[in-house]
Structure 1
Amino acid sequence: MRWLIYTLIPAALLLILLYRLWFDDTGLVASNELQQKIEQLQQDNEVQQNQNRALMAEVRDLKTGNEILEEKAREDLGLIREGETFILFVDPAQK
């Protein structure tokens, strides 16, 4: 009977500790998942920072120069200068 107490209690405690080490909220599995989420968020942040840099450069150009304003007006609004001829090429509908 005594050997049962001396073996089962430590074995149960060991199993509880192993469970907490691997599967608890602070265990190894959860830590790996959090690390993967952190890496993904860092990649997403890098992409967003690159887009923000490009937008900030465009804002600076819009504030300082007229060429970018003219380019945006031509691209987005389809504006043309006086004396220019606008030609639109249309692909024929494919059958």
Structure 2
Amino acid sequence: MRRRLVRGALGIVLVLAIVDGVFGDRGVFANMQQREVLSTLQTSIDDLHAQNAALTDDIRRLREDESAVEELAREELGLIKDGELLIILRDTPEQAAPGSSTPPTAARR
């Protein structure tokens, strides 16, 4: 009788240990979920490293290459050199792209 009780108790403990090993906080499923989270975070880190490298390269170019600063000023600020002539072409309503929601005058700077 006592042997049966001990075996039953050991069986219950074994089942609980297996259930905890599979479904518990440190179980198989939790481990799989943590690996997915780790993979997602690693991908984000890799993307951020690539962005950081691109921005570092942009900073280096802007510090070392005067033509890069000029190019950026022309594109972003619309600056021109002395003696240059700026010609702005505006679309007329019949030239606007079909289905375009922006007015032709707002489409270009």
Shared fold, TM over 0.5: yes
Worse-superposed segment, 59-68 or 3-12: 3-12
Query: C-alpha separation between the residues in 2 aligned to 1:30 and 1:2?
Result: 37
**Deviation of the 1:39 alpha carbon:** 0.8
Query: C-alpha separation between the residues in 1 aligned to 2:63 and 2:72?
Result: 13
Give ranges in structure 1 of 5+ residues lacking alignment.
none
Give ranges in structure 2 of 5+ residues lacking alignment.
100-109
Structure 2: which amino acid aligns with 1:16?
L
Matched with 2:107 is none
Q: How high is the TM-score relative to the length of structure 1?
A: 0.84
List aligned pairs for 1:72-87, cutoff 5 A.
72-87=72-87
Structure 1: which amino acid aligns with 2:35?
Q
Q: 1:64-83 CA deviation, whole Å, 9 max, x = no partner?
A: 11011001101111111122
Matched with 1:64 is 64
Find out whether 1:12 has 2:12 as its counterpart. yes
Q: 1:40-81 CA deviation, whole Å, 9 max, x = no partner?
A: 111111111110000000111111110110011011111111
Alpha-carbon distance change, 90 to 15 in structure 1, aligned in 2, over 3 angstroms: farther
Worse-superposed segment, 83-92 or 9-18: 83-92
Task: Give aligned pairs, total.
Answer: 95
Q: How high is the TM-score relative to the length of structure 2?
A: 0.75
Does the residue aligned with 2:79 lie in a helix, a strand or coil?
A: coil
Structure 2: which amino acid aligns with 1:71?
E
- The alignment-based identity, stated in percent, is 32
Query: C-alpha separation between the residues in 2 aligned to 1:90 and 1:26?
Result: 65
Query: C-alpha separation between the residues in 2 aligned to 1:57 and 1:27?
Result: 44
**Deviation of the 1:3 alpha carbon:** 6.6
Query: C-alpha separation between the residues in 2 aligned to 1:19 and 1:90?
Result: 71
